[in-house]
Amino acid sequence: MTTRKICVVTGSRADYGLLYWLLRALRGEPQFDLQVVATGMHLAPEFGLTKNDITADGFDLAAEVDTLLASDTPAGVAKSIGLGIIGFADAFQRLAPELVVVLGDRFEILAAATAAYIARIPLAHIGGGDTTEGAFDEAIRHSITKMSQLHFVATEDARRRVLQLGEDPRHVYVVGHTGVEAIERMELYPRHEIEQRLGVRLRKRNFLITFHPVTLASTPSQTQFAELLAALEAFGDDTGLLFTKPNADTEGRALIAMLDDFARTHDNAAVFTNLGQRMYLSVAAQADAVIGNSSSGLFEAPSLKRPTVNIGSRQQGRPLAKSIVSCEPLAASIRGAIEQALKLDCSKVTNPFGRGETSRAIVETLKGIESPRDLLQKRFHDWKQLP
């Protein structure tokens, strides 16, 4: 049997967790030769050097593409994209994949998609059609959609947006969200094991907090984060504050410095560079609220039946489960939203991002594509003329 080389690119702890079950499914298919490429934060010690997590899970790395510069200014991020395009051009030339699979909307994924597109390597994109109006991820996501030939989207609304971009409806597949699948397939750690593994004592009440830079907001990310920290002060020492550090985005290092300073003066605060997907979901399942502006509060927390406080505009435009309370990035508004979230009964919440079997649906679709290169030349499909 002739195997088909499929290259999957992962750039962060977050997208690797979302890709994990797909990687396992692809590795188990004899007709596929899986190539895993690590890039971005995976290769940076300051973000946990999480490429080691990938190899510890039994996946060989076909290539490592370094993209991150020491600067996270707008100029630094733009230069990182350029560095990534150069690195991926070399990697794809050497690996010669027949299909590249990417997920999401980060700048290092844009670099990978651009290099593949110019090299005439077909792209399969997971997570297109979403909207996040508060970050430049929005434009990156839609750009990757236009360079891709296969689209695996989470919801019907996302499918309609991809069709609005002129994509072929025959190649847009609603498969749900891989984060929801992970919750259904993963055995989570119990409370005592979380404490043992993390070296922390969970308190009477606990919050899991992640706040990423808001790259398109008029109010600086540092100002918004300071408002969040002020709001958390009101809940006292009986509340455990478990923070995960922000991504390597513009202003990200400034937020990390603020977070480290806060933790040094608050005994109830613990900061983690990388929890890994299993531990992150385990902590979320034990938390009284998931707080911040991370997509995990929208994608995964509803399936864990935990309330989410969604701060500011970063995730604006995504569908919201009834367990999510949105608020302005102001201390009083955040504090009020947390108090409201703590009163919610989330036991019967329905997650709008579907449920399990996402990876299997993607693999079965890929198995049915006889010649990915035949998909390279696309024509624009006017969504107004679709049946």
Do 249 and 374 reside in the same domain of the chain? no
Do 59 and 207 reside in the same domain of the chain? no
Do 86 and 230 reside in the same domain of the chain? no
Tokens coding 310 = 């969604």
Tell me, yes or no, whether 348 lies in a domain.
no
Tell me, yes or no, whether 99 lies in a domain.
yes
Distance (Å, rounded) from C-alpha 123 to C-alpha 193? 40
Distance (Å, rounded) from C-alpha 295 to C-alpha 125? 18
Q: What is the pLDDT of residue 355?
A: 65
Distance (Å, rounded) from C-alpha 39 to C-alpha 386? 38
Percent of the chain with pLDDT over 90: 71
Q: What is the pLDDT of residue 186?
A: 86
Tell me, yes or no, whether 9 lies in a domain.
yes
Judged by average pLDDT, the poorest of 17-21, 55-59, 362-366 is: 17-21
Tell me, yes or no, whether 184 lies in a domain.
no
Q: What is the pLDDT of residue 373?
A: 92
- DSSP-derived 3-state class of residue 150: strand
Tell me, yes or no, whether 183 lies in a domain.
no
Tell me, yes or no, whether 205 lies in a domain.
yes
- Which of 39, 44, 86 is CA-nearest to residue 63? 39
Report the amino acid identity of residue 287.
Answer: A
> What global pTM score does this model have?
0.83
Do 51 and 150 reside in the same domain of the chain? yes
HSE, side-chain direction, 13 A CA sphere, residue 333: 12
pLDDT at 149 over 60: yes
Do 215 and 306 reside in the same domain of the chain? yes
Do 335 and 367 reside in the same domain of the chain? no
Q: What is the pLDDT of residue 70?
A: 65
Do 171 and 291 reside in the same domain of the chain? no
Do 108 and 24 reside in the same domain of the chain? yes
Do 303 and 333 reside in the same domain of the chain? yes
- Which of 177, 150, 196, 174 is CA-nearest to residue 374? 150
Q: Estimate to the nearest angstrom the gap between the alpha carbon of 77 and the chain centroid.
A: 18
Distance (Å, rounded) from C-alpha 272 to C-alpha 275? 6
Is the pLDDT higher at 274 or at 258?
258
Convert the pLDDT of each residue in 101-134 to its tens digit: 999 898 999 999 999 999 999 999 999 998 877 6
Do 142 and 234 reside in the same domain of the chain? no
> What domain range includes position 284?
189-342
pLDDT at 1 over 80: no
Convert the pLDDT of each residue in 176-235 to its tens digit: 888 888 888 889 999 999 999 999 999 999 999 999 988 666 788 899 999 999 999 999
Tell me, yes or no, whether 312 lies in a domain.
yes
Q: What is the pLDDT of residue 90?
A: 97
Summarize the confidence of residues 163-173 as an average pLDDT.
Answer: 95
Convert the pLDDT of each residue in 4-56 to its tens digit: 999 999 998 888 988 999 999 999 999 999 999 999 989 988 878 889 999 99
Distance (Å, rounded) from C-alpha 294 to C-alpha 210? 6
Are 111 and 89 in contact, with CB atoms under 8 Å apart?
no
Q: What is the pLDDT of residue 216?
A: 66
Q: Roughly what angle, to the nearest 10 degrees, separates helices 331-342 and 221-233?
A: 50
CA angle, corner 158, sides to 152 and 159, nearest 5? 65
CATH (domain of 281): 3.40.50.2000
Summarize the confidence of residues 358-383 as an average pLDDT.
Answer: 92
Q: Residue holding tokens 């195997």?
A: 3
> Structural domain tally of the chain?
2
Tell me, yes or no, whether 269 lies in a domain.
yes
Do 214 and 85 reside in the same domain of the chain? no
Do 317 and 261 reside in the same domain of the chain? yes
Tokens coding 219 = 């109010």
Distance (Å, rounded) from C-alpha 320 to C-alpha 211? 18
Q: What is the pLDDT of residue 123?
A: 98
Summarize the confidence of residues 290-317 as an average pLDDT.
Answer: 91
Mean pLDDT estimate for the chain = 91
